[in-house]
Amino acid sequence: MKEHILVTLAKRQFLNVERETVHLVDEPEINAFLNDIEQYPHAYVLGCLMDCQMKSEKAFAIPWLVKESIGSFSINCLADYSEEFYQNLFISKNLHRFSNDKAKVFHVAVQRIANEYNGDASKIWADNTSSAAVVYRFLQFKGCGIKIATMATNILARQFKIPLSDYYSIDISPDVHVDRVLKRAGLVSMEVSREAIIYKARELNPEFPGIIDFSCWEIGRQFCKPQNPLCNQCPIQSECKLF
């Protein structure tokens, strides 16, 4: 089967682009903190765990806001605080839409990183491990579903350029851009479910289904806008059914 242009563009981006700053939040200082996965790998993990049912950028900023409140982000320091402390902090500062639940998730995750990973969250993705192992380790965290686990692993592989022994278990994370582009391009039908989109991505590139996340996202944001899509400038125009 001929490779779809979406896959070709994504592979080009994956193979040719060096690690660059991942845009997780708008504020440069907070973004730099979250990108420092060498010094603060737990900040990235905790940010991913907060990314649920609220604006992603606000969720990813939570580790920074906790750091500002307690004056440190060492895992030993974070692990010294009780669940009640985090609940008071999250609720008093209105950190999350579900502050009560997410304070628990935050506290349990800190304890897990301190105890299971000896305080070093980068062990989740170290040693050239498999994509399935990384997804599985994320799933072991309280409050982490398959969507967050695959998104977190995908960002590590595609953007942080963490070497893994394979990429088979990194599925696409369908969002509004992915959904719109795949439907308009005619790769999936208009009424298709989220699960079906995931399987279509597996069919398009079984060895790394989630690789097209970024190309769909970029095309959706820049060209395939909800209204008045810029088809004449779109890089997948030649294979788009709607064009």
Nearer of residues 32 and 230 to ligand SF4, judged by Cβ: 230
Closest among 167, 181, 175, 213 to 194, alpha carbons compared: 175
Give the C-alpha separation, 238 to 232, whole Å. 10
> What number of residues does the chain have?
243
Nearer of residues 170 and 236 to ligand SF4, judged by Cβ: 236
* Shortest distance (Å) from residue 207 CB to ligand SF4: 24
* Shortest distance (Å) from residue 242 CB to ligand SF4: 4
Nearer of residues 59 and 240 to ligand SF4, judged by Cβ: 240
AA letter at 127:
D
Please report which helix (H) or strand (E) contains residue 147, including its range. Answer: helix 146-158
Residues within the interface to ligand SF4 (CB under 6 A): 181, 184-185, 219, 223-224, 229-231, 234, 236-237, 240, 242-243
* Shortest distance (Å) from residue 204 CB to ligand SF4: 15
Give the C-alpha separation, 131 to 165, whole Å. 7
Nearer of residues 112 and 184 to ligand SF4, judged by Cβ: 184
Nearer of residues 88 and 237 to ligand SF4, judged by Cβ: 237
List all residues 6 or more positions away from 16 whose beta carbon is below 8 Å from its beta carbon.
none
DSSP string covering 50-87, please?
H-SSS-HHHHHTHHHHHHHHHS---HHHHHHS-HHHHH
* Shortest distance (Å) from residue 219 CB to ligand SF4: 6
* Shortest distance (Å) from residue 233 CB to ligand SF4: 8
